[in-house]
A and B are shown apart, each in its own frame.
Chain A
Amino acid sequence: MTIAVAELRVEDKLFQNRYLVDAGRPHIKVRPHEKPSPNLIALTRVCPAKCYELNDKGQVEITADGCMECGTCRVLCEASGEIEWNYPRGGFGVLFKFG
């Protein structure tokens, strides 16, 4: 038996969280690429904040606003040079109320 799960929107989950977005200074960037690697494509599914998405040219784009700074994408894609990862400036980014 499979478990029926209502239409899932991770945006609704992120809405619970508190963020201080450093507007115009994203802390993670995807470097320009022709064809994304399997790990980079995996991020469109694996990123817990769903920051990564495929655009209509088949390239991976990031919107880092909802990022929870877990580092999963860094572990998968920094070594290959596909993404550039930094922590947000002090005070910015996700602010956990409970953690």
Chain B
Amino acid sequence: MIEEKFDAIVIGAGMSGNAAAYTMASRGMKVLQLERGEYPGSKNVQGAIMYADMLEKIIPDFREDAPLERHLVEQRFWMLDDTSHTGMHYRSDDFNEAKPNRYTIIRAQFDKWFSRKVREAGATVLCETTVTELAHDTRGQVIGVRTDRAGGVIFADVVVLAEGVNGLLGTRAGLREMPRPEAVALAVKEMHFLPEEVIGERFGLKGNEGCVIEAAGTISRGMTGLAFLYTNKESISLGIGCLVSDFASTMESPYALLDAFKNHPSVRPFIAGSEVKEYAAHLIPEGGYKAIPQLFGDGWVVVGDAAQLNNAVHREGSNLAMTSGRIAGEAIFQVKSRRDPMTKNNLALYKTMLDKSFVIKDLMKYKDMPALLHTNSRNFFMTYPQLMSQAAQNFMRVDGRPKIEKEKATTSAFIKARSRWGLVSDAVRLAFAWR
């Protein structure tokens, strides 16, 4: 199929693959990018929020033509029980800045745009091509890939595995383990379409302003999970995700959770009258720092979701993906510039550079969080949201009962549900995992 040898092959045209391919191609490297979808983005699913800083480091003037939906001026966090939400809103006009910090995007459209930039930078992008295996030489060095198209090995000095959370190639080649069920969340999402001005009215937004609602509580039925509502220009991305291990033990159906979330009295008014145009499912890496696999070897590096680079606490996935892709591209370019071979020793530069970046520092900060939330999911996602709701209702409702009596009832409800020791221990463990 393709006779020539490339400097680098990038597998996948998601955020990390595009960032890596762009970084290398724009520095004059000969790059081939392979994507199994019909077009870049056709296999990619995200919430989706895109952080400007990380893209700006790759394409500084992206605001001129990237398909951005709304820039976020407001964030709401909700703790849900079956009929209520207790929440926090943060809204600031500071976010209405010349160069906004966060945007909602629609991945199929965004990825097409990003891929166009990759091609403009000089990379060859080949879609509808599934890579079936990595090719090695007798010493174990990765020297290229085989695909499901006719023809033999396509050769390259280095292969960038940007194959996503469910990457088969790296696991089959024994470069990393498959994600454990407790280290990945299954998220399902629907796209609800509404006129632009209706979304503006319902969320209190002007023009391109956007709002994000993230919700946890009884909606995940005791599982470790999070639901979300993101405003796009003419649609709302609405979804829920929980750990795969929790789904397997509870036997809950993800689409039943999604429909219950849509029907929650706090959510229903936002999507009333909407037209649903797509239903998607995707895994999200949740294992954090402790789940990061070996990131480089002889003739290969792994980036993005395939490397479990996702900050679940801050829900930062695509920016870690973009950043790891960019850093991998820069590291490979440095090795190539020195005319050094793409060996494990030389590609260790990628890890060194990544360790110095916010990517690994942030994941290190929250290294104990996944285990804490996983082992305490019933308390954090069932007990506390219910207690919070009762407490708030006790406080708000005026019914002739003396306030001191109500306060005592609230306190004793917390102690009854979790015991004094349990409350203190939850607080301490949460504080330590957060630190």
Contact = CB atoms under 8 A, between A and B. Distances in A.
B179 interface: yes
Interface string B324-368: 000000000000000000000000000000000000000000000
B92 interface: no
A76 B282 contact: no
A98 B252 contact: no
A87 B168 contact: yes
B278 A39 contact: no
Interface of B: 36-38, 41-46, 48, 82-83, 106-109, 111, 127-130, 147-149, 165-166, 168, 178-181, 184, 186, 188, 190-191, 235, 244, 247-249, 251-256, 259-260, 263-264, 276-283
Contact of B254 (A38, A46, A88): A46
Contact of A48 (B44, B107, B186): B186
A8 B191 CA distance: 17
A94 B43 contact: yes
Interface string A1-33: 111111010100110110010000000000000
A5 B256 contact: yes
Q: Is the interface of A mostly helix, strand, loop or mixed?
A: loop
A98 B248 CA distance: 28
Contacts of B129: 90
Interface of A: 1-6, 8, 10, 13-14, 16-17, 20, 38-39, 42, 45-46, 48-50, 68-72, 74-76, 78-79, 85-91, 93-99
B260 A17 contact: no
13 contacts: A8-B255, A46-B248, A46-B253, A48-B254, A75-B184, A76-B181, A78-B178, A90-B128, A90-B148, A95-B37, A96-B42, A96-B45, A96-B280
A75 B285 CA distance: 12
Contacts of A10: 253, 255
Contacts of A6: 259
Given A3-B264, A48-B188, A48-B255, A90 B45 contact: no
Contact of B82 (A3, A42, A72, A78): A3
Contacts of B130: 87-90
A97 B181 contact: no
Contacts of B166: 69-71, 74-75
A10 B255 CA distance: 7
Nearest to B263: A3
B111 A99 contact: yes
Contact of A98 (B83, B184, B191): B191
A86 B168 contact: yes
B185 to A, nearest CB: 10
A96 B43 contact: yes
A70 B247 CA distance: 14
Contacts of B178: 74-75, 78-79
Listed residue (A14, A79, A99) with the most chain B CB atoms within 10 angstroms of its CB:
A99
Nearest to B193: A98
B107 A99 contact: yes
Contact of A68 (B147, B244, B263, B280): B280
B260 A5 contact: yes
The 4 nearest A-B residue pairs measured at CB: A71-B166, A91-B128, A99-B107, A48-B281
B38 A91 contact: yes
Listed residue (B41, B128, B281) with the most chain A CB atoms within 10 angstroms of its CB:
B281
Listed residue (A70, A86, A95) with the most chain B CB atoms within 10 angstroms of its CB:
A70
Contact of B283 (A17, A75, A91): A75
A74 B251 CA distance: 16
A10 B130 CA distance: 28
Nearest to A44: B251
A2 B263 CA distance: 11
Nearest to B110: A99
Given A5-B263, A48-B186, A91-B38, A99 B281 contact: no
B244 A90 contact: no
Contacts of B251: 42, 45-46
Contact of A90 (B83, B147, B260, B278): B147
Given A3-B82, A91-B38, A75 B244 contact: yes
Contacts of B44: 96, 99
